[in-house]
Chains A and B, each alone.
Chain A
């Protein structure tokens, strides 16, 4: 286990003796910042956003500790504020504590034990409240996504179902067996579309919630798997699928993320071919050099309009009506890459094809 970083503490006091004493007692165990007036204190706060605890003397020439805490509270809400004071000022201190400006006050003259206990308490409180703030942020983002999600899911799930319902109604009027079979084929397409969508949602959640499972990756095996998956599609649609793998070193990564990336890039490459093209091909080129995997997926398909390139990684965005798609695939690719610190760029030309370049570092 790595040693946790030292807690950053700011101590504000106009009396040099106190500062020196404080420094001597605590500089080993904590990362201390010292200020002789509130202006200096503000400079420290500005520079170090991660100061967790502020000790401030109540009686200072420019302003009182209570005033200082009141002033900084809205701009620097995170650090835990603690006041050092003698009994004489107790009324204003109580008032300030009640208004929530001060976490705790410490009676002067303080002992080291007082300070250490207070730091531990304050640190616990800091961790809990900052964790809460972080969780709240995550939650807000999750709600936002959920809204968008349920809105689109109702459409993307109902769509194929209603198609099938319509097809059933039409088929009930048909007597010709050949025509009925034709309708059944179309219904199967709809079922497939719904299933693809559910698969994409599954990927989405596995990526969002699943922990990384770092294993040694043999790209030859992975590519072999992809070749098997796309063998039928490749034959039926007359698309040549060429692969090349150069791997002479161990590469560690999350295999689930890699599969999501490969699968989505390849299924797009197969889907968005130019139907009239006599020589359809897809190339997958993988090279692992010095702990960096470079994966290139190139096709000579329909290409992506320049004005849509910025949007293709957005959830539910679709740049074409050719073939069925959920608008989920590249979003999942981007999500997977974020998890494994990978990057993706692309080049595309309408009517010529698209080339995706993915780089992923070894874990």
Chain B
């Protein structure tokens, strides 16, 4: 397993960002973590800085329900980016939703690797990334 992954968190809840940051840092596979409270800001950042400094894979943790741009809208915008950029990222949904429609809808996006429930389970994440 690559010990140094980069993480981008997108969640409108500051507390949830902080918790996920700590969990990720604790499992020791994290080279860097960056949090965004607004999906549009994250998208802007990705467009301007598509690749990580060392070229390592970037894991994107995405919440669904957010004001302004929600998780679905973010994915749709992300899928418009060039394949070169998209291939640098793995998207994981991290949501509190127990709604089946949400889970089914997420399954339809091919860029999304997995639907994870909050709070993030560090060991499970490792098993998915290895």
**Chain A residues in the interface with B (C-beta under 8 A):** 151, 154-155, 158-159, 162-163, 165-167, 169-170, 173, 186, 189-190, 318-321, 327
Contact = CB atoms under 8 A, between A and B. Distances in A.
Contacts, number: 62
A185 B12 CA distance: 18
B119 interface: yes
Given A155-B97, A319-B68, A321-B68, A166 B12 contact: no
A154 B64 CA distance: 14
B67 A318 contact: yes
Contacts of A319: 67-68
A327 B117 CA distance: 23
Contact of A151 (B96, B99, B117): B99
A163 B19 contact: yes
Given A169-B23, A321-B37, A154 B118 contact: no
A167 B68 contact: no
Interface residues of B, number: 24
14 contacts: A154-B99, A155-B96, A162-B16, A162-B117, A163-B13, A163-B19, A165-B118, A166-B19, A170-B19, A170-B26, A189-B15, A321-B37, A321-B38, A321-B68
Nearest to B16: A163
Among A167, A190, A318, A321, chain B packs the most CB atoms within 10 A around the CB of A321
B119 A321 contact: no
Given A169-B23, A319-B68, A190 B96 contact: no
A173 B98 CA distance: 27
B67 A163 contact: no
Contacts of B99: 151, 154-155
Interface string B47-75: 00000000000000000011110000000
